């Protein structure tokens, strides 16, 4: 059997968007992904569903897999002919032991490729508003390991040279040795007035920064309970933080927001959250699939020009209906005599992509508003087509039917349980890693509660902000025992984001 290949990939310092294009390709193409503690779990969502995911979590105080065991995993999977991506925090060749792993692969005649990543020593200070070089402060920069055993007699760090010979010194993984680092720098001539920053979980929502000088940074870091993982920056450039800090000024900085929409729709909300400094965590509790039986929808499309009204209640409904028309090779011009109604601006925008314009879009984006509109129309005996989800509320077809209309309600798409891991979701909630839950439909709420278990709602959601896209979704949440903290005034994704912003501004 031909050997596989191993890609040693730098995942960047934590923010998943700092992955390189090449690195993302390697994740997507991998049969096996071996990942570290400091690589973002969100990057794993890009792996193939059938890919084997192996956690090799390592911290300065605890290893899930020892380095020899990691090496063996890389070798064994590659010898099976598999494509292996070794996903490492930061850059594989900057205190990442990538060189050692590459040597092992070379010894076994296993082909490998190095994919550089953005190293934490540059990115983490940047997210804290600290440029590691600035011509008014320094012309030299040093990266130094911070977890060298201070009891070693023969240190590999030439403290007498770097203490005063480098304008900026960046220490990796040095939190446990901060007193030793301070002592060595000052003993070798670095002024106690030198600015210092300690940055924990840089580029992530948990990012925490403490600044001081060599004289007081130990005490300040201790008071702030700083721990691993952290980057320590020593030098005059630290003084620029107060005016250059940008990441922490974003409106949703520090907030990890759970998105429960289907994976195909989650990106719109995720992008808005990221632009505002929050971290979206996509956990689809629903997925959109084809209906079990296309028969009723196909029959309606075959006689589409016989309908007086076509009512579309969601973007999913528009896409499913139009895709089926295309599949059946039904000319869109057959809709020319049919009046079209849309619930909400996003549904209308989706319809208009096909060059079709709506007769009516209610000001309030719920079924009840459409009923109010039809009260002003003579719909007795009129044919109304309502293609939508299999689990949609019955208030619209039942009420229109009672008004004398001939309503054809057909299933255009089905909503099923999302494939997200219940164990992972519960762990995140237990560890207080989720700050906001967003729900965009009743089905997202119902499936979320099924995922975590009804008996766990009050316990796991304590302290979590629950945000709903509108009153129907809110009512479903309350029926299931959730306390709704945020409800959008405009029942759209933009309205939901604005409501979340308003909540945090007020609180």
Question: At 438, phi and psi to the nearest 5?
Answer: -115, 135
Give the SS3 label for residue 314.
coil
Which of 15, 31, 36, 91 is catalytic? The answer is 36
- Token reading at 15: 């923010």
Q: Extract long-range pairs of 217-224: CB within 8 Å, 24+ residues apart.
A: 217/178, 217/182, 218/178, 218/179, 218/182, 221/175, 221/178
Taking the C-alpha atoms of residue 504 and residue 144, their distance in angstroms, rounded to an integer, is 39
Burial 416-435 (b: 16+ CB within 10 A, else e): eebebeeeebeebbeeeebb
Annotated active-site residue in 15, 88, 173, 446: 173
Q: Are strands 256-259 and 436-439 parallel, antiparallel or unpaired?
A: parallel
Is 173 labeled as catalytic in the residue annotation?
A: yes
Q: Any catalytic annotation for residue 36?
A: yes
Residue for token digits 């590691």?
132
Q: Which of 256, 243, 131 is nearest to 204 (CA)?
A: 256
Comparing C-alpha atoms, which of 283, 312, 321, 320 is closest to residue 444? 283
Q: Alpha helices of 314-412 — where are they, by DSSP H?
A: 315-327, 345-352, 367-375, 395-402
309 touches 384 (CB < 8 A): yes
Where do the H-state alpha helices sit in 239-309? Answer: 241-244, 263-275, 295-302
Q: Is 375 a catalytic residue?
A: no
Closest CA to 108 of 224, 250, 3: 3
Q: Go through 36-71 and write b for each residue having 16 or more CB atoms within 10 A of its CB, e for each that does not.
A: bbbbbebbbebbeeebeebebebebeeeebeeeebb
Ranges assigned E (strand) in 133-244: 141-145, 168-172, 195-200, 208-213, 230-234
- Contacting residues for 470 by C-beta, under 8 A, at least 6 apart: 365, 366, 487, 488, 491
Percent helix, strand, coil in the chain, to 5, is: 40, 20, 40
| Catalytic choice (31, 58, 88, 325) | 58
Tell me the pairing of strands 83-88 and 112-115: unpaired
Q: Is the peptide bond before 229 cis (omega within 30 degrees of 0)?
A: yes
Active site residues: 36, 58, 173
């Amino acid at each position: 059997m031909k050997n596989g290949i191993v890609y040693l990939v730098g995942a960047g310092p934590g923010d998943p968007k700092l992955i390189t294009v090449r690195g993302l390709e390697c994740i997507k193409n991998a049969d096996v992904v071996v990942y570290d503690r400091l690589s973002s779990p969100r990057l794993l969502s890009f792996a193939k569903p059938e890919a084997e995911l192996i956690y090799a979590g390592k911290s300065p105080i605890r290893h899930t897999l020892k380095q020899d065991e990691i090496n063996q995993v890389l070798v064994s999977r590659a010898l099976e002919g598999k494509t292996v991506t070794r996903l490492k925090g930061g850059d594989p060749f900057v205190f990442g032991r990538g060189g050692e792993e590459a040597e092992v692969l070379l010894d076994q005649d296993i082909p490998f490729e190095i994919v550089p990543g953005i190293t934490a020593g540059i990115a983490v200070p940047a997210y804290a508003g600290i440029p590691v070089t600035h011509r008014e402060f320094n012309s030299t920069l040093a990266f130094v390991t911070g977890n060298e055993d201070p009891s070693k007699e023969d240190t590999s760090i030439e403290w007498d040279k770097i203490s005063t010979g480098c304008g900026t010194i960046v220490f990796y993984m040095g939190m446990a040795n901060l007193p030793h680092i301070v002592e060595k720098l000052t003993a070798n001539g670095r002024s106690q007035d030198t600015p210092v920053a300690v940055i924990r979980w840089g580029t992530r929502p948990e990012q925490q920064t403490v600044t001081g000088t060599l004289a007081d940074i130990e005490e300040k870091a201790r008071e702030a309970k700083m721990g691993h993982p952290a980057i320590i920056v020593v030098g005059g450039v630290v003084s620029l933080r107060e005016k250059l800090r940008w990441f922490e000024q974003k409106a949703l900085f520090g907030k990890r927001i759970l998105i429960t929409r289907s994976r195909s729709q989650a990106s719109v909300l995720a992008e808005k959250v990221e632009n505002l400094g929050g971290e979206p965590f996509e956990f689809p509790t629903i997925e959109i699939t084809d209906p079990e039986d296309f028969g009723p929808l196909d029959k309606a499309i075959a006689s589409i020009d016989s309908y007086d009204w076509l009512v579309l209640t969601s973007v999913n409904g528009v896409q499913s209906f139009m895709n089926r028309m295309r599949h059946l090779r039904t000319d869109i011009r057959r809709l020319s005599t049919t009046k079209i109604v849309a619930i909400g601006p996003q549904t209308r925008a989706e319809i208009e992509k096909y060059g079709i314009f709506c007769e009516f879009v209610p000001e309030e984006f719920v079924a009840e508003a459409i009923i109010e509109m039809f009260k002003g129309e003579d719909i007795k005996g009129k044919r109304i087509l309502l293609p939508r989800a299999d689990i949609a509320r019955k208030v619209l077809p039942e009420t229109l039917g009672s008004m004398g209309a001939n309503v054809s309600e057909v299933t255009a798409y089905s909503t099923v349980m999302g494939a997200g891991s219940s164990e992972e979701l519960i762990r995140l909630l237990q560890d207080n890693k989720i700050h906001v839950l967003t729900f965009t439909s009743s089905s997202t709420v119902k499936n979320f509660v099924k995922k975590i278990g009804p008996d766990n709602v009050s316990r796991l959601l304590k302290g979590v902000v629950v945000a709903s896209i509108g009153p129907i979704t809110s009512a479903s949440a309350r029926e299931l025992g959730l306390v709704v903290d945020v409800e959008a005034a405009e029942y759209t994704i933009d309205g939901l984001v604005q409501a979340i912003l308003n909540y945090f501004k007020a609180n």
